[in-house]
Amino acid sequence: MIKTTQVCRKALIALGVSLAVFASASIDAANQKNDLPEIGVVASGAISLDKEMQIGDVLMRQLRGQAPIINDPLLDEYIQDLGNRLVAQADNVKFPFEFFLLNNPAINAFAFFGGHVGVHTGLIYNAKNESELASVLAHEVSHVTQRHIARSIEARQKSSPLQLASALGGILLALASPEAGIAAISAGSAASAQASINYTRQNEKEADSIGIRILAQSGFDPNAAGEFFGTLVEKYRLTSRPPAFLLTHPLPESRVADARTRAASYQRNQVPESLSFHLAKSRILARYYATPEYNINYFETSLERGSYAFKAASEYGLALAYLANEENQKAQKLIDNLLVNDPRNLFYLDTYTDIALATGRTEDAIEKLTAQATLTPRNRVITLNLANALVKNKQYDLAVRILKDYLLIAPDNMLAHQILTDAYTESKNKLEMHQTKAEVYALAASYPRAIDELHHAYNYAGAQNIEKQRIRARIEQFREYQTRLESL
């Protein structure tokens, strides 16, 4: 398993400040497809779909650099597949959706411009079943398809630019960090009781209605929304600190009742338990929560007592815990047994690779991954694990070819760029190494560092005049982006 996790609490506050300023800025974006979006005039009219996508790209870059986004191919694959299943049943889908995960134990999810949907690991871990998780994602998909953020901004047209900027900045920060976002809103002149939530009550009602329809049409239990909301309300009824989801998605009892009433109009689907869902839960606990010792005890106890939805999910979690505790032989035995019954399972193949690399059996990992790659070409889990194993085995040229091919369909995949950087670094290819590093920084909106890397690349270009021209053009593009960001 290859992962990179950046956690910066203070940076989330900085993100809120930058978004507030971002919202009040004026940029000339006319007829420039790659320009940063102009937010300063949104109070005078609607935000176009093209602008929404541009804004979403900028915000996503900011989040990559400042929020605890998890670059875990397995969990990314799971949440994207689940999200796509829901989006396929949605109306008014204007752009591709990107679902991503944040390493945060809070029970929360959020959506913003351009089809971006963020999911906290705490939501997956605390959902009882896949239908409950899907109910929240369907709700967020509905916010995007109904363009609720853009409509909320339009509704504030009578506010002054600074008021609008303060409100938008606080709202967007509240998406990823509800407590910080609400504090930002409270500090602004646009603070009001209604401004402390993502959307209006009408927006929430609409998202509930459409979300439950999407949920039912996607084959999930339509009652899951009301059940999940009801559980949250009951669980935190007497606490002074409600979960993040209740801060950003207020749930009065009448709304819970409405969700249950709407669900009753659909036929209840008898949805079997999902192995992938429970494997994802086990992975989140074993990889991102608690200590290896705690997790070993947890999963061993679960297996002894038979307290699991799937025995395989508990065995998988135990294998990850053993691996984290450097008990490689125990981990290998569990994974080998799991693969006998389910040889193409990506969760098991990923951990098989980790164990093989940890025990110096890189060739075994490459052989198994290569066989799977012929069946599922360009799959993110197989591709990135195979490329990483090839780099470890010093097969740099093959790793580079695989990664470049994958980046044609996933140009914003941070992990693919990072592994490609490793391949160039290990092979001492300084020109391409600095160029690829620049793209990594650009994906996190760190344009000064990206420009520095390209200057280094230029020095290694030698007599390659065409390459030098390409580097100069990219430097100018990054400078333009950076200038506009600074002007915000």
Residue type, 236: Y
Q: Has residue 114 got a pLDDT over 60?
A: yes
- Average the pLDDT over each of 14-28, 32-46, 183-197 and give the range with the smallest value: 14-28
Q: Which residue has the higher pLDDT, 443 or 250?
A: 443
Instruction: Give me the pLDDT at residue 483, please.
Output: 82
Annotated domain spans of the chain: 9-264, 275-487
Contact criterion met (CB below 8 Å) for 468 and 458: yes
- Distance, in Å, from the CA atom of 105 to the CA atom of 189, rounded to the nearest integer, reads 31
Q: Has residue 280 got a pLDDT over 50?
A: yes
- Distance, in Å, from the CA atom of 378 to the CA atom of 237, rounded to the nearest integer, reads 47
Q: Which two tokens stand for residue 2?
A: 């290859």
Instruction: Give me the pLDDT at residue 50, please.
Output: 80
Q: Which two tokens stand for residue 373?
A: 């790659």
Q: Has residue 306 got a pLDDT over 90?
A: yes
Q: Has residue 2 got a pLDDT over 70?
A: no
Residue type, 64: R
Q: What is the DSSP letter of 46?
A: P
What lies within 8 Å, CB to CB, of 322 at 6+ separation is 292, 296, 328, 330, 331, 334
Q: What is the mean pLDDT of residues 385-407?
A: 97
pLDDT tens, residue by residue, 68-77: 899 999 999 9
C-alpha dist (Å) from residue 145 to 88, 114, 131, 151, 334 = 12, 10, 20, 11, 43
Q: Has residue 93 got a pLDDT over 60?
A: yes
Going by C-alpha positions, the residue among 488, 481, 419 that lies closest to residue 451 is 481
Backbone dihedral angles phi then psi of residue 100, each to the nearest 5 degrees: -140, 165
Instruction: Give me the pLDDT at residue 55, please.
Output: 77
pLDDT band per the 50, 70, 90 thresholds, residue 40: very low
- Distance, in Å, from the CA atom of 61 to the CA atom of 445, rounded to the nearest integer, reads 5
Q: What is the mean pLDDT of residues 251-268?
A: 76
341: left (phi over 0), alpha (psi -120 to 50) or beta: alpha
pLDDT band per the 50, 70, 90 thresholds, residue 197: very low
CA quadruple 77, 78, 81, 86: dihedral positive or negative? negative
Percentage of residues in the chain having pLDDT higher than 70: 75
DSSP letter string over 202-224?
Answer: HHHHHHHHHHHHHHHHTTS-TTH
Contact criterion met (CB below 8 Å) for 406 and 373: no
- Distance, in Å, from the CA atom of 43 to the CA atom of 152, rounded to the nearest integer, reads 10
CA angle 290, 354, 370 (to 5 degrees): 145
Contact criterion met (CB below 8 Å) for 140 and 109: yes
Rounded to the nearest angstrom, the gap between the alpha carbon of residue 49 and the centroid of all alpha carbons in its chain is 21
Contact criterion met (CB below 8 Å) for 195 and 250: no
Q: Is the pTM of this model over 0.85?
A: no
pLDDT band per the 50, 70, 90 thresholds, residue 444: very high
Going by C-alpha positions, the residue among 225, 131, 239, 152 that lies closest to residue 195 is 152
Q: Roughly how many angstroms between the first and final C-alpha of the chain, as a whole number?
A: 38
The response to whether 480 counts as a known ligand-binding position is no
pLDDT tens, residue by residue, 406-420: 999 999 999 999 999
C-alpha dist (Å) from residue 141 to 35, 333, 395 = 26, 41, 42
Q: What is the mean pLDDT of residues 463-470?
A: 92
Q: Which residue has the higher pLDDT, 190 or 292?
A: 292
- Distance, in Å, from the CA atom of 293 to the CA atom of 108, rounded to the nearest integer, reads 28
The dotted CATH code for 275-487 is 1.25.40.10
Q: Has residue 370 got a pLDDT over 90?
A: yes
pLDDT band per the 50, 70, 90 thresholds, residue 241: low
Q: How many helices (DSSP H) and strands (DSSP E) are in the chain?
A: 24, 3
Q: Which two tokens stand for residue 378?
A: 């360009």
Instruction: Give me the pLDDT at residue 360, please.
Output: 95
Specify the residue for token string 């409509």: 151
Specify the residue for token string 């065995």: 315
- Average the pLDDT over each of 40-54, 87-101, 123-137, 318-332 and give the range with the smallest value: 40-54
Write out the catalytic residue numbers: 140, 208
For residues 336-363, one letter each, b for 16 or more C-beta atoms within 10 angstroms of the residue's C-beta and e for the rest, the string is: eebbeeeeebbbbbbbbbbbbbeeeebe
Instruction: Give me the pLDDT at residue 249, please.
Output: 66
Contact criterion met (CB below 8 Å) for 224 and 86: no
The response to whether 204 counts as a known ligand-binding position is yes
Q: Which two tokens stand for residue 169?
A: 């900045």
The response to whether 455 counts as a known ligand-binding position is no
